[in-house]
Structure 1
Amino acid sequence: MASSSRSKVEVEGSIPQSMTSRAPTYHLMTRPAFGAQGRRIRLFANHFDVKFTMPDTVFYQYSVTITPHDARDKNAAQSKVYGRKIVNRLYEIYGKELKNKRFVYDGERSLITIGPLPHKNFEFTVVLEDSSARATAGRAGDGSAVGGDQKRSKLSGFVKTFIVGIKFVAMFPMKSIALALGGSEREDGHTALRVLDIILKRQQAERGCLLLKNCYFDGNHTRIFDVGGGVSGCRGFHSSFRTTNGSLSLNIDTSTTLIMKPGPVVEFLLANQNLEDPRRIDWEKAKRMLKNMKIKAVHNQREYKITGISKLPCDVQTFSLKERNGEGETRTVEMTVYNFFKDMRKITLTRSASLPCLDVGKPERPSYLPIELCHLVSLQRYTKELSSQQGALLAEMGRQKPGERMRLIADSLNDNRYENDPMLNACGVSIDKRMTKLTGRVLNCPLLKVGNMEDCIPRNGRWNFVQKTLLQPCELLHDEWAIVNFSSRCDLSHLSRELTKCARNKGSNFEEPSVLLEEDREWMRSGPMVRVEKMFKKMEAKFAGPPRFILCVLPEKKTCDIYGPWKRKSLYQFGIVTQCIVPPKNIRDQYLTNVLLKINSKLGGINSLLSVECKRSIPLINQTPTMILAMDVSHGPPGSSFPSVAAVVGSRHWPLISRYRASVRIQSPKLEMIDSLYKPGENGDEGMLRDLLLDFYKTNGGMKPAQMIIFRDGVSESQFMEVLNVELNQIIKVFEHLGDTTMPKFTVIVAQKKHHTRFFLADSPENVPPGTVVDTTVVHPRNYDFYMCAHEGNPGTSRPIHYNVLLDEIGFPPDDLQKLVHALSYVYQRSTSAVSMVAPVCYAHLAATQLSQCFDLSDTSGGELPIRAGVPQLPELHEKVRSSMFFC
């Protein structure tokens, strides 16, 4: 058993070359008990009880392969939209051969029936009459796109032929769901649930909805709102079947996604690039934006998919056209796209003569359409990165108050009329239209200690420093810091006076800085890296050595292009703690206090502590050296191949649980599992965790952690076992490498934010109170999990964090673990309110995001960062800031 008296970490000296790894195989733990503490409240959850009256129903799964008769129809055979059309057409033609057996098809490879088909293998020929322009692309004489292969369209005759193979794969009974409700982990229970989800998806697909996993969007104009830049927010709904504690439920929630604003393509590009003149459009950017988007040609009402943009404008771009003379002889002539539509189609192009054409053909046979005849069709996802203004508007418009959200959810259930779905009826599934009633508990807010060990009592998850001081304030002498200004509208003298005044009122000895630097106006047109370099050179002339702290005033929010180079220069090259701000026009005390909280934390001060930290009374932690880890991975923008950034933060100065240090690495794109917690190298273990463990050792008088509480963010249920058997085993190897013969006890908790369970007060339209915890009724029937709303959810609806306890070797009683998780939402040093997720996870996310902005991760040439195994490598942070809370 681990204890505080075990052998110390060997910081120096020989490291064992080979050791027998413990590397056990873990399994998800089951729920040991339910929590009992807290004030009980009546709640509704957006889960609807599901009954199934035919438990003997058996699902049969068949694989579907669609092979085009013509190889050039390969893309159509792989399309979900075409797949559904093909299979629906198959049923119309061959329904009798299939005994008119009803089925659901997922649009890809799986077809599900209730009961078996007559045979295990089928092969059918399906001829699909296609009115879309993909079948006619290249036919010059039909008034559609021009160019390409005319012979192709004449032979096609507007039809496509496919060979459809159906082959039996497996069978699984409906009763497997009942076994799952009893705690069984049989795979066929999960499969049966997926089948029920596919049935719901099929209904939405037939309605023409945009489907995203288990979310659907019908494009109703009342649910669409503009967010600028040619982008719209679209409100829709999520629905999925869930096994819960004792019952099967249907989880329904509102959802929001981004779509491209339908309408003229030119208007979209002008809005997207913030232009007024089409002649100034960046066509390379437009090409990336429009690729694979669907458009409708207004002159023939046919739909096309954009494959590219012509290099030449419409009145110069030519294509080959075959024409016959009066004697029946044919000849090939070159004609511009503009003249074709003017002379042959009698369409005068007024806007796009000098603009490029849209290519809707293939690389070997392009087909062109004038851009002014093209409109983007509705319900097409927008997956590019949003500006800060767009993101703020999306968040504002996408949220609903609890009462409104409940109404929208109820409307969705009524509108879909699941009781009339023939497949649900065939398998005996009925859905209650009333939300699930349950009992929640409200935990008391933890007591905080501020300056002079004064008590600070949060109210509704919030507190303030009015007439209070910081617990451990830092000190800044006038020659230790500077303020630099990249924004011409900020009065630095006023800012300096107000900030130092606020700091003194909060107990900090801040002297006004000796250096106030304004950016020279002629630098403003230079690139961000040049501007930062010039500012640092200007500052070097004022200081004998690097200052201890710099307050940097940016011209706009942190997304501005100066932020990354500034942080890189200060953190990596000079080792200077910096705080970037964009002050409002009227600087108030609350704003300055929030800035001061971040500065104090970065410089090593402490704003507040939990009372239980000060009293050393945290159950199971204060008696045994305990380290808290939090791990997160930040991925690049959607659709990009940017490397991912992994961050781990570790607690220091046990028994405190409020101070942390970070370690950050870059890894392969979209890789969710952290692959460098342990990393053998030329100098021994070069992984992320080693430095955090040595820091814990140094800040705790040579004691190693005998217990580790590990929080993991951002993983789905399907990855829980990887967290235990990949990431946790890496952690074990780190201890072995450091010469540890006895492992600490581990408690591993996954924190999930991306889920669709919401709670509503049964007797009030307001949000559930901060501290609400739910561990009954809608939780997993077997695994150890609970939901917690630690924060105040206004102005929208509170989103609880779903905590999944994968392993608990420490042995926390449920009440103690829930109180610890609740308390960890109050140690976030950047604010005076409880955060929704435990603070160390928030810190890990901040560290990953901040350092990813310091470098151009899209540059994989090795120009900015060294490349190893195809992945950029971050340099070491400067030793002066390595152990600071620079991310705070």
Structure 2
Amino acid sequence: MSALPPSSLTVLSNLFDVPSLPTVAFYQYEVSFSPEIKIMRRRHELVSILQTDVQPNLFTPRALYDGKAILFSQGRPLPLAGQGVASFEIPNTGKTNVRITLRAVGSGPVDFSDLKMALAGKALFNLAMAAPINVLQLALMQVPAQSCIQKGKAFYSSRGELNLNNGITIWRGFYQSIRPSPGCMIVNVDVSVTTFYAAGNLFDHCMRFMGFHNARDMVDLRLDDLRKLESHLKNVRIAIMDPLSKKIKSIKGLEPKGGNFEFQVDGRPTTVAKYFSDVHRALLKYPHAVAVNLRPRNSDNPTIIPMELCFIIPGQFYRKPLPSDCTDKMVNFATLRPEERKAVIMSGTTKVLSIESPVLQYHASDYLRDAGLRISTQMKQIGGQVLATPKIAYGLKATVSPARGGWNVMGKKLFVPAPPANRWAVVNFDTRTRHQQVQDLLAELYKCCTDLGMRMNAPEVLMETNIHAPGKILDAIADDTGNGKGKLAFVLVILPQEAAGPRAAVKRWGDVLRGIPTQCLRSKKVQRVNNQYCNNVALKINARLGGQNCGVELYPLTGIRGPYMILGIDVSHPGAGVHNRPSIASLVFSTDKEAMHYQARLCVQPPRTESILEDDLRRMVTEAVDIFGKKNGIGPQNIIIYRDGISEGEYNAVARREYTIIREAVAARVSQITKKETSPPKMTFIVVTKRHHVRFFPSRPGDADKSGNCPPGFTTGESLSTPGLNEFYLQSHGGLLGTSRPSHYIVLQDEIFGCGPQNPQGLRLVQSLSYGLCHVYASATRSVSIPAPVYYADRACLRATTFYFPPDMHFSDSGTDDPNAVFDLEFWKSQFGQVKDRDNKCFFL
């Protein structure tokens, strides 16, 4: 059976054609400052003064500066004396002048002839073309970089900010980048939001962040609160005594009761409070409160400053995860319906955003005009197709046809029910959820489970208690219900609405310590129980216990000779500024011939290592082949890999390495199983990511779904592919809130489908397969945004970082640490809790 043919659809995108490229060459220079200037925006200001006020004749046309250490002159080398080196004094009101030194880089001029040839299809893209593309990116960023705060390829303004009243504020801005496409370069412009530290008095800031209402709470901080606050403030830049002071310092640590800290002045002992009173005539209001230390921890000469005399300077990015109670506010602030988003991108200054869109600046920019760079101000039209939606199969040969990306399981039977749940338990840790509400939940959940075809008894235990020591309570229940009858099938746990710590304890207990599946429910859901919610819970329970909720015919696989296995691979990394915590890698693999059921393996590796360590990857692949072979009686002969967690610059290097390791590991293990030499499997390696800013908008109202988005199943083809790459975008999910984000797929290696310029059908098969796999995510009755195997891999990594290290290691804490500390991989491996009884169960849901 083959799928129905796709239908054509033309949409608008937040992409803008670049019909002309520079005709002149660019010459590169190193830039240095004396004294060192640490703030990028200030460096931009100084270089602008150099070009417009100090040496306007030298810098005509204007040079392009990256805000760090690179500058490009346009059209000609700068006539610098001293063998390509020159220094310039920049006036600095009230302070020592700043000296800017330019040094010519002997790499030759950057021109655009090769790039133009590649865009015309007359040459292949290569690494040498990164330099001209980088120059184009710098030209785009020059104007906004001088008036906004820059972060990578995005820039932000505090106008229209949202203050979360907890020391964190959200700013809006724009993202813009330039990339190749068939025939011309294109500029991607999108709305962006990010978080900043709220500027102002540091003491008041900390009170808001900690949720304190009485200043005395800042005196006797508990150890956990002190650690939380120190993590929040680490490396934050502050001004002392005067919020407008140009003398900026960074916070390195905290000192309890800082005003009482004693030190020597001219050989005489004094305290911090007395020093500021005597020398600065500053009488402290809170001398016993925690203070900041401007020196590294364990420094022999700490510098302690009272918080009430410190001011957080504006424009500092908050790079840690948002507190859970702020997530909804962030989502609401960032969410824009498609029509709103399109209007903001085209104009910027609306009720949503109070800064001008870069699209309006393209014709007026001196930098772009001088460079001969012309950019369209009209959104690019993209021709694509809407793929046929696969039918969803349930038990008793029933099928469902999804509508707008979703479907209902009412009246359906599970494709494969899990083994009977004869023994299970319920624990209510939320004292506000009444006994009758729990009983109503259990009655509705039991009805939904049995209606779907699951077999289960009434719960053997129903305990209602407070949330103190959840692990001990769960141990007592599991041990008491044992009595030689075998362990519990699962435990249903009701938690308070905000209970991240107890939930982590429950999941660690179930996954790592006891090997008993747990299903956690939030109290608000229990108190407003309904049939739809209980059906969703039932689907999760069935998958966690080894069942299969539904089936989807993946027609692109029906023509493959020999059994196939689908892998999803992801690597998650520690947060920004964290140097001494590992990355976590996960490999998820299908175990059945239809690629509907999945298991996962996890490993620990050095921080920010994007490619999985060879020994660990071989081990995980070997285990996957063993399980597949035992279940199907034969090893896989075709391997399809969906890989997330790779940065764009690492695509080819990581793919080649992992492709080779997986190929060798599968062939070796299959040969051992069959006891004869086996040919290497055919393989396809696909990178999939959502970390991009491309968006699609219906070109006509009739083409939109109810949310105003393009319909699920919309995919692009050759019209939006980088020359030389087999790539596409797929918007596989129906719109719910805001503007849907498509996923980006790059087929880096392919031996199965025949992708290539001479066989467009090969890419269409990959598109259809990917869309089908977006419908098999076990805990949803909607198509999801990326194929289920790689979605599972992402969930497995998140679960490991949150639950699988001992709580006292504070692994999920996003605070910074010592960059000079030696990373000990073996120590982290020894502390990592492996999942017990993981086979045949989707523990990662």
Normalised to the residue count of structure 2, the TM-score between the two structures is 0.86
C-alpha distance in 2 between matches for 1:421 and 1:436:
21
Superposed, 1:118-129 pairs within 5 Å as: 118-119=79-80, 121-127=83-89, 129=91
C-alpha distance in 1 between matches for 2:464 and 2:561:
52
Structure-1 residue corresponding to 2:29: 62
Structure-2 residue corresponding to 1:389: 325
Superposed, 1:618-767 pairs within 5 Å as: 618-621=556-559, 623-640=561-578, 641-654=580-593, 656-676=594-614, 687-701=619-633, 703-738=634-669, 739=671, 741-764=678-701, 766-767=708-709
> RCO (CA 8 Å, sep 6+): is it higher in 1 or 2?
1
C-alpha distance in 2 between matches for 1:854 and 1:341:
46
The 3 A distance-change label for structure 1 pair 857 and 755 is farther
Match of 1:45 among 13, 25, 36: 13
Retained in 1: the 8 A contact 2:13–2:379? yes
Match of 1:454 among 388, 398, 406: 398
Question: How far is the alpha carbon of 1:623 from its aligned partner?
Answer: 4.0
Please state if 1:108 is matched with 2:44. no
Please state if 1:803 is matched with 2:752. no
**Which structure has greater strand proportion?**
1
Q: What letter matches 1:733 in structure 2?
A: E
Structure-2 residue corresponding to 1:883: 840
Structure-1 residue corresponding to 2:374: 430
The 3 A distance-change label for structure 1 pair 717 and 341 is closer
C-alpha distance in 2 between matches for 1:608 and 1:496:
24
SS in structure 2 at match of 1:52: coil
C-alpha distance in 2 between matches for 1:61 and 1:36:
54
Retained in 1: the 8 A contact 2:806–2:831? no
Superposed, 1:94-243 pairs within 5 Å as: 95=55, 98=58, 100=60, 102-114=62-74, 115-119=76-80, 121-127=83-89, 129-130=91-92, 158-159=96-97, 165-183=103-121, 184-207=124-147, 209-220=148-159, 222=160, 224-243=161-180
Retained in 2: the 8 A contact 1:131–1:302? no
Question: How far is the alpha carbon of 1:465 from its aligned partner?
Answer: 1.2
Superposed, 1:218-617 pairs within 5 Å as: 218-220=157-159, 222=160, 224-281=161-218, 282=221, 283=226, 285-297=228-240, 299=242, 301-303=244-246, 304-308=248-252, 311=255, 316=260, 338=273, 349=284, 351-358=285-292, 370-412=306-348, 413=357, 417-478=361-422, 480-490=423-433, 491=435, 492-519=438-465, 521=466, 524-525=467-468, 528=469, 531-545=470-484, 546-556=486-496, 560-583=500-523, 584=525, 585-610=527-552, 612=553, 617=555
The 3 A distance-change label for structure 1 pair 860 and 591 is closer
C-alpha distance in 1 between matches for 2:727 and 2:269:
69
SS in structure 2 at match of 1:833: coil
Q: What letter matches 2:389 in structure 1?
A: C
C-alpha distance in 1 between matches for 2:60 and 2:268:
54
**Which structure has greater helix proportion?**
2
The 3 A distance-change label for structure 1 pair 842 and 868 is same
Q: What letter matches 1:177 in structure 2?
A: L
SS in structure 2 at match of 1:218: strand
Q: What letter matches 1:672 in structure 2?
A: E
Retained in 2: the 8 A contact 1:857–1:872? no
C-alpha distance in 1 between matches for 2:548 and 2:832:
28
C-alpha distance in 2 between matches for 1:439 and 1:808:
25
The 3 A distance-change label for structure 1 pair 506 and 861 is closer
Q: Which runs of 4+ in 1 moved over 6 A?
A: 318-322, 332-335, 361-368, 857-862
Please state if 1:832 is matched with 2:781. yes
The 3 A distance-change label for structure 1 pair 339 and 537 is closer
Q: What letter matches 1:829 in structure 2?
A: A
Cα displacement string for residues 593-621 of structure 1 (whole angstroms, at most 9, x for unaligned residues): 001001111222221111x26xxx54455
The 3 A distance-change label for structure 1 pair 263 and 127 is same
C-alpha distance in 2 between matches for 1:869 and 1:705:
32
Q: What letter matches 1:116 in structure 2?
A: P
Retained in 2: the 8 A contact 1:61–1:113? yes
Cα displacement string for residues 118-145 of structure 1 (whole angstroms, at most 9, x for unaligned residues): 259433444455569xxxxxxxxxxxxx
SS in structure 2 at match of 1:886: coil
Percent identity for Structure 1 against Structure 2: 26
More divergent stretch after superposition (112-121 vs 839-848): 112-121
C-alpha distance in 2 between matches for 1:876 and 1:315:
43
C-alpha distance in 2 between matches for 1:189 and 1:784:
19
C-alpha distance in 1 between matches for 2:667 and 2:303:
63
Retained in 2: the 8 A contact 1:707–1:746? yes
Normalised to the residue count of structure 1, the TM-score between the two structures is 0.82
C-alpha distance in 2 between matches for 1:169 and 1:53:
21
Structure-1 residue corresponding to 2:351: none
Question: How far is the alpha carbon of 1:512 from its aligned partner?
Answer: 1.0
More divergent stretch after superposition (178-187 vs 361-370): 361-370
Retained in 1: the 8 A contact 2:26–2:110? yes
Retained in 1: the 8 A contact 2:390–2:772? yes
C-alpha distance in 1 between matches for 2:230 and 2:419:
54
C-alpha distance in 2 between matches for 1:507 and 1:461:
24
Retained in 1: the 8 A contact 2:174–2:191? yes
Cα displacement string for residues 795-818 of structure 1 (whole angstroms, at most 9, x for unaligned residues): 110100011111111125232221
Question: How far is the alpha carbon of 1:262 from its aligned partner?
Answer: 1.9
Retained in 2: the 8 A contact 1:662–1:883? no
The 3 A distance-change label for structure 1 pair 796 and 81 is closer
Unaligned runs of 5+ in 1: 1-34, 133-156, 323-331, 680-684
Indicate the structure (1 or 2) with the bigger Cα radius of gyration: 1
Question: How far is the alpha carbon of 1:879 from its aligned partner?
Answer: 6.1
Unaligned runs of 5+ in 2: 349-356, 672-676, 755-761, 812-822
More divergent stretch after superposition (566-575 vs 423-432): 566-575
The 3 A distance-change label for structure 1 pair 566 and 759 is same
C-alpha distance in 2 between matches for 1:878 and 1:366:
44
Question: How far is the alpha carbon of 1:822 from its aligned partner?
Answer: 0.8
SS in structure 1 at match of 2:84: strand
Q: What letter matches 2:442 in structure 1?
A: S
Cα displacement string for residues 828-885 of structure 1 (whole angstroms, at most 9, x for unaligned residues): 11110000101111111112222332233797799xxx97545424768566332321
C-alpha distance in 2 between matches for 1:408 and 1:391:
23
Q: What letter matches 1:746 in structure 2?
A: M
Question: How far is the alpha carbon of 1:632 from its aligned partner?
Answer: 0.6
Retained in 2: the 8 A contact 1:310–1:317? no
C-alpha distance in 1 between matches for 2:333 and 2:791:
24
Match of 2:771 among 809, 819, 822: 822
C-alpha distance in 2 between matches for 1:314 and 1:877:
43
C-alpha distance in 2 between matches for 1:228 and 1:418:
37
Cα displacement string for residues 83-103 of structure 1 (whole angstroms, at most 9, x for unaligned residues): 445544554687379465531
The 3 A distance-change label for structure 1 pair 696 and 677 is farther
Q: What letter matches 1:60 in structure 2?
A: Y
Question: How far is the alpha carbon of 1:650 from its aligned partner?
Answer: 0.8
Q: What letter matches 1:626 in structure 2?
A: Y
